[in-house]
Chains A and B, each alone.
Chain A
Amino acid sequence: MLVSTKWLAEYVNTQGLDPKELGEKITRSGIEVDAVIDRTQGMTNVVVGYVKECVKHPEADKLNICQVDVGEETTQIICGAPNVAEGQKVIVARPGAVLPGGMKIKKAKLRGEESNGMICSLQELGIEGRLVPKAYAEGIYVLPETATPGESALPLLGLDDTILELGLTPNRSDALSMLGVAYEVGAILSEDMKYPEATYNEGNEKASDYLSLRVDATSENPMYVAKVVRNVQVKESPLWLQHRLMAAGVRPHNNVVDITNYVLMEYGQPLHAFDYDRLETKEIVVRLANEGEKIVTLDDQERTLKSNHLVITNGKEPVAIAGVMGGANSEVHDGTTTVVIESAYFAGGSVRQTSKDHNLRSDASARFEKGVDPNRVILAAERAASLLAELAGGEVLAGSVVVDELDKTPVEVVVSPDFINNRLGMKISLEDMTSILTRLKFDHQAANGYLYIKAPTRRQDIKIPEDIVEEIARMYGYDEIPMTLPVEESKPGGLTSYQARRRQVRAYLESAGLYQAITYSLTSKEMSRKFALETAPVTELLMPMSEERSTLRQSLIPHLLDAVTYNTARQADTVALYEVGSVFLGETESGLPHEQEHLAAVIAGKWVDHSWQGEKKAVDFFVLKGIVEGLMELLGHSKELTFERAVVDGLHPGRTASIQLAGEEIGLIGQLHPSEQKARDLKETYVVELNLAKVLNKEVEALYYAPVSKFPSITRDIALVVDSEKVAGELQAIIQLSGGRLLKGVHLFDLYEGEKMEPGKKSVAFSLTYFDPERTLTDEEVVNAHNKVLKALAEQAGAELRG
């Protein structure tokens, strides 16, 4: 909402406040002022000129040489506008003038002819092109004949004004009108209202003799008022009316249309003007449209209606879409002489649906949607009639044609001062409260410990005691509220075990060298299932903004890979990222997808780079595996952790494993498939994804101390020769199972698959630690245990001791 402070001052005394100060007061007490716009924009030396003579420039077809009376002198100005003509009163920027945007006017010569200034268009004075009346859109603006040469043009054009741009929240639709804003300012400044006048001489004939009215859909349209004005002369509106509309962001058209828009801005009540003769039937019938019925609207679009759209008809065919847009067939035009003014109450929901269906949003529909003041429907009609009489020479017929089933009873709110003070934590006196209600012009009464308040119908946001709490608080001033802390039973706050361990997981991964990434949950349908740990139906948006962001992800890996690609393309040597986030799998009973918290990590490039001391290592499978092992150790699951070769689409078939805890799959790890790697132009890249929720929710043994033994442990190394296909994990499992209770540790320390080996064989060396916390082991005991291990290895894995 754009509020001209000059216009506003017609309804309420703004106490001569500087607009900035006024804006600040409005902001602090309830309605945010987004901007304070000075319409002069620093303009100077812009005056009224009279074009005494206007001839073509001998050297240039498109230029005119004008002799312009600017008050103190008559001076020559060259003008290129097509519509400049002798006898016009025009806007002249004199030499030395500064125009919006900082343009400075100087004396100049144009094709040999002197030019002392510029004849201006409205755009050149900083008015948006879309607001300039069509007649002057392509040229200079022509002032009324009454303008005096030499006087400043800015007051004439209403440009010596400041606009407050209000950022209205949906509850404050009452401030979608100048009167509404005036009420607000009046409350803030403790000032009374001055209401617009609506007086005119009624004609002898009655409106009801000219027009009949029937409303067939009173729930969508509970109130309809029509006034008939005869002998209207359609012409340009007076300048003051035009510039007020432009200040409010509305383009002037002609006096009839301008008056309806003016009253809309003034009262917040949308009006519509029909050409009475073009209605043809002397009848208005408001009804729901027939399915498929058509109407050509004012913007020359043919629109097909649905049966829930409310239309105004002439009894035969639609002449307007109610509250949204008029029809072309009944539009007021230059030759219109009799006008029907419609002022109605259309239900918000109906207008919202209709304007949404036709993608038509207007100042009118916006106000109906939010609900107009039921008590202004007649007032606005009368105000429009009086302006038509005053500005268009119209004769207003007696009375109105009315259907009124609208409930205009104000909402009554009963609230105790104690309730208000308890909610605020304050001690505002009853006198202060009633004085605020008086300033707000809320009808109220204090009796037996309660305030009985009748909320004015313009304030449809006031319904319950809490609304009164807010009104009192904002007018009393939020700065006056003291600062306290809740008084309550003292209870420790904290993280749940899950949340605390999730933080530890993050800290661990970061200390292991990974940066935390946050990527988007929405991806393309194609990518959504890639690398997913589980097969589940995808969750898609009904109306995605793009295919790229149409489906919820089932794996975190694709977007992390995108981040690797992004960073690699920008010369990052090493990319090591992890993310903790939800994936979305299928549908649960409640209809929501099953949301699972996952953890994923990607690494690529160098891992260790300390080359001057000869230490250098690129990332590989075992770097990432080590991180996973360390994580499981942190979470107390290292004993249950196993890795098993697996095949996953998009990963290297020989370098991928399923990660399991006690035989249950919890994740996958592997190298990005070389063909994907190539497509993304990456170095070797490794990925891992874990079902974090499953891991963190798994039972874990209580942490319990084992005594540190006084007795030594005994270590025996073995080097085994096995078939090349034998995996280390299997050998390790055999050792662990056969080693008995004395075997406390198995550690693989060497692997050799070279030319010194027989083809198809490899050597694997383990270090075995035997230990009894109660005593020193004898050699014999160790030999016995060790022999069992060797035997098992030979029998179960065909392993031979390497000689």
Chain B
Amino acid sequence: MEAQLQQLKEEALQKIEASQNVKELNDVRVAYLGKKGPITDLLKGMGKLPAEERPKMGALVNVVREEVTEVLEARMTLLQEQAIQEQLEKESIDVTLPGRPVKTGNHHPLTRVVEEIEDLFISMGYEIAEGPEVEKDYYNFEALNLPKGHPARDMQDSFYISEDILLRTHTSPVQARTMEAKEGKPIKIICPGKVYRRDNDDATHSHQFTQIEGLVIGEDIRMSDLKGTLSVFAKKMFGEDREIRLRPSFFPFTEPSVEMDISCFKCGGSGCNVCKKTGWIEILGAGMVHPNVLEMAGYDSKKLSGFAFGMGPERIAMLKYGVEDIRHFYTNDVRFLSQFHRTEV
């Protein structure tokens, strides 16, 4: 019986070794260790043995069973690992194949510029004011110190709807309307929007374009406040090391009036084609609100003062992104629009 047991063990160990997969090994387990297997049979057959041999034999059977089980489990672990390995190999993919696209659109570049400016000024306590694109001559011109027949009206040939209604030529009427509505109280606003002028569309002119203006009115608002505000704007928008300079200019609604240049962000001031070799780039017009404008809106120009500034998002986008033709902004070519997808530092 002992020999029989030894032979069984050898057989089992051989079959375990020969098993090539989990299923074969399980068959071996069932065949040798199962309830109907030969080892169980041996245990069952122990009844025929003399009583004094039974414990010894039982122990022996158990030892063999444990031994076989141990080898089988080890083999099982190995085969399982192999199986997983095979599975993984079968499942491997070409990771260089394209992913499922997530298609998203993006802001128009002008909106991108306008929102950037809006957010900067919002962080300094400004609100965003809007107004109609079709305006009364009064708000577009008269309330801004441009009475009928004023020579400066020639500067901006306009689209009239009737004798006293026109497409606004700048966003300044929003300032006039806001001042009227605020009834003498302080103001701090940014006015973005579409404006219209009688121009033939070409690379540098567009009969429709956008503007963004700012207005601050309060007690003791000084020109130094304007200069400081514009400097913050220039640095945020065009880089921390930008310098600004003011040049005298003329706008009927401000006095004094200035134009602001920034040091060229491309060459840093040494001269290049962006700054036309001057080292400076003209960015915006600004000034101290003309007392006539304040008075017309019901503000006491002796007590309150203010500053205003205005710029063209088209120009800023053209400078910033190197766009050479203003018409790109209104053609809506997807190959143009989609270039303004990514974030900027």
List CB contacts (< 8 Å) of A27-76 with chain B.
27-32
Q: Does A593 contact B (CB under 8 A)?
A: yes
Contact status A491-B188, CB under 8 Å = yes
Name the distance in Å between B321's Cβ and chain A's nearest Cβ. Answer: 15
Nearest B residue to A369 by beta-carbon distance?
B151
Q: Does A784 contact B (CB under 8 A)?
A: no
Q: Does B207 contact A (CB under 8 A)?
A: yes
* Pick from B194, B225, B227, B331: contact of A566, CB under 8 Å: B331
In which size bucket is the chain B interface?
A: 35 or more
List CB contacts (< 8 Å) of A547-597 with chain B.
549, 552, 560, 563, 566-567, 570, 572, 574-578, 581-582, 584, 590-593, 595
Nearest A residue to B124 by beta-carbon distance?
A493
Which residues on the A side are within 8 Å of B105 (C-beta)?
509-516, 576-578
Complex Cα spacing A496 to B218, Å:
22
Complex Cα spacing A493 to B288, Å:
22
Nearest B residue to A494 by beta-carbon distance?
B122
* Pick from A424, A518, A540: contact of B332, CB under 8 Å: A518
Which residues on the B side are within 8 Å of A517 (C-beta)?
108, 332, 337
Q: A482-B227, A485-B225, A490-B125 are in contact. Are A474 and B115 (CB under 8 A)?
A: no
Contact status A566-B332, CB under 8 Å = yes
List CB contacts (< 8 Å) of A155-182 with chain B.
169-172
Contact status A479-B255, CB under 8 Å = no
Which residues on the B side are within 8 Å of A609 (C-beta)?
101
Nearest A residue to B150 by beta-carbon distance?
A170
Nearest A residue to B278 by beta-carbon distance?
A24
Nearest B residue to A421 by beta-carbon distance?
B222
Name the distance in Å between A194's Cβ and chain B's nearest Cβ. Answer: 26
> B-side binding surface: helix, strand, loop or mixed?
mixed
Complex Cα spacing A466 to B334, Å:
49
Complex Cα spacing A724 to B142, Å:
64
Complex Cα spacing A170 to B151, Å:
7
Name the distance in Å between B76's Cβ and chain A's nearest Cβ. Answer: 38
Contact status B231-A516, CB under 8 Å = no
Contact status A425-B222, CB under 8 Å = yes
Which residues on the A side are within 8 Å of B186 (C-beta)?
488-489
Query: Which of B5-13, B15-23, B130-138 lines the interface with chain A?
Result: B130-138
**B-contact bits for A448-474, CB 8 A (1 contact / 0 none):** 000000000000000010110110011
Q: A595-B132, A595-B134 are in contact. Are A169 and B198 (CB under 8 A)?
A: no
Which residues on the B side are within 8 Å of A540 (C-beta)?
161
Complex Cα spacing A786 to B232, Å:
66
* Pick from A491, A495, A521, A566: contact of B128, CB under 8 Å: A495
* Pick from B98, B224, B330, B338: contact of A520, CB under 8 Å: B330
Q: A511-B104, A515-B105 are in contact. Are A591 and B165 (CB under 8 A)?
A: yes
Contact status A522-B123, CB under 8 Å = no
Contact status B121-A426, CB under 8 Å = no
Complex Cα spacing A592 to B151, Å:
26
Q: Does A727 contact B (CB under 8 A)?
A: no
Q: A473-B256, A495-B128 are in contact. Are A575 and B334 (CB under 8 A)?
A: yes
Contact status B122-A493, CB under 8 Å = yes
* Pick from A30, A31, A486, A539: contact of B134, CB under 8 Å: A539
Residue with the highest number of chain A CB atoms closer than 10 Å, among B115, B224, B245, B335: B224
* Pick from A484, A496, A549, A574: contact of B222, CB under 8 Å: A484
Query: Which of B52-60, B61-69, B152-160 lines the interface with chain A?
Result: B152-160
Which residues on the B side are within 8 Å of A474 (C-beta)?
248, 256
Complex Cα spacing A514 to B107, Å:
9
Nearest B residue to A513 by beta-carbon distance?
B103
Contact status A486-B100, CB under 8 Å = no
Which residues on the A side are within 8 Å of B126 (C-beta)?
493
Contact status A612-B98, CB under 8 Å = yes
Contact status A521-B208, CB under 8 Å = yes
List CB contacts (< 8 Å) of A246-277 with chain B.
none
Q: A423-B222, A479-B245, A511-B104 are in contact. Are A518 and B291 (CB under 8 A)?
A: no
* Pick from A170, A352, A478, A592: contact of B246, CB under 8 Å: A478
Contact status B329-A518, CB under 8 Å = yes
Contact status B125-A481, CB under 8 Å = no
Which residues on the A side are within 8 Å of B299 (C-beta)?
none
Residue with the highest number of chain A CB atoms closer than 10 Å, among B126, B128, B135, B222: B222
Contact status B224-A482, CB under 8 Å = yes
Contact status B188-A493, CB under 8 Å = yes
Which residues on the A side are within 8 Å of B224 (C-beta)?
424-426, 481-484
Which residues on the A side are within 8 Å of B256 (C-beta)?
466, 469-470, 473-474
Nearest A residue to B153 by beta-carbon distance?
A170
Given contacts A482-B228, A484-B225, A491-B188, list 15 more A-B pairs with CB under 8 A: A422-B220, A423-B305, A470-B255, A479-B246, A486-B221, A496-B128, A519-B332, A520-B330, A522-B196, A545-B198, A572-B334, A576-B105, A593-B161, A610-B100, A613-B100
Residues of A within 8 A of B (CB): 27-32, 169-172, 348-349, 352, 369-370, 422-426, 464, 466-467, 469-470, 473-474, 478-479, 481-496, 499, 503, 506, 509-522, 539-545, 549, 552, 560, 563, 566-567, 570, 572, 574-578, 581-582, 584, 590-593, 595, 609-610, 612-613, 615
Give 11 CB contacts A-B under 8 Å: A169-B249, A467-B255, A469-B256, A481-B227, A482-B227, A484-B222, A486-B225, A539-B161, A549-B207, A591-B136, A595-B133
Residues of B within 8 A of A (CB): 97-98, 100-101, 103-108, 110-111, 115, 118, 121-128, 130, 132-136, 149, 151-152, 154-155, 159-162, 164-165, 167, 186, 188, 194, 196, 198, 200, 207-208, 216, 218-225, 227-229, 231-232, 245-250, 255-258, 288, 290-291, 305, 329-335, 337-338
- List the 4 shortest-distance A-B pairs measured between CB atoms, nearest first: A425-B224, A425-B222, A169-B250, A470-B256
